[in-house]
Amino acid sequence: YITTDDSNSAIFSSADTANTDNFFEIMRLGNLAANNPRSLRITVEISNSRDDIRSSGEISINEWHHIAVCSDGNQYILYIDVQLQSLSIIVGSNSGNWISDVQGKDNAFLGKLTRTSDSSFFSGRINSFLMFNRTLELKEILNLFKQGI
C-alpha cells in the first residue's frame, strides 16, 4: 500500500551505481508527467535498451492504493487496488525484464533511485512492501489486499 502527493516518486528501484545504464524502477508519476499522469511507471534499462511501461489507471493523491507489479518473464502484469491495468508502452516493449535481468546491480531501495547519485525520492508513505520469487495469482493478490498488506 502506498499514498503519495503529486510528484514523481520512486517506489522501488535496483541499479548499478557505476553507471546510469542499468536499472529497474517502479515509480508513481506526478500530475505534470507526459503520457498518463498520476499513473504507475515501470522502467527497466539494460545496456542502453530501455522499456518504459505506464499503467492506464490513475493513482490519486493522498489516498491509499494497493499496488501489485508482476512479471511472468515475458510481460509485466500490474494491478492497482486489485484491478488489472492495461499497459501503454512508451518506449521499448513489455518485455517482462525483472530485477534479476539488470546487469551489475549492487543496490535495492524503497523510496529512491540510486544510480550514480540519489534521485526520484518518494514523497508519501509506504505501508508495506513484499517481494516474491514467483508471479502471484489474482486470488493471492486479492488475499493480500483484504489483509491490508
Count how many Cα atoms sit within 13 Å of the Cα of residue 97 in the half-sphere of its side chain: 23
Query: Could you tell me how far CA 88 lies from the centroid of its own chain?
Result: 14
Neighbouring C-beta atoms of residue 1, cutoff 10 Å: 16
At 127 the pLDDT is 93
**pTM for the whole structure:** 0.90
Segment-wise mean pLDDT, segments of 10 residues, the chain, 149 residues? 89 92 90 75 92 91 94 93 95 92 92 91 93 94 94
At 6 the pLDDT is 80
B/e letters for 84-95, b = 16+ CB within 10 Å, e = fewer, are: ebebeeeebebb
At 11 the pLDDT is 95
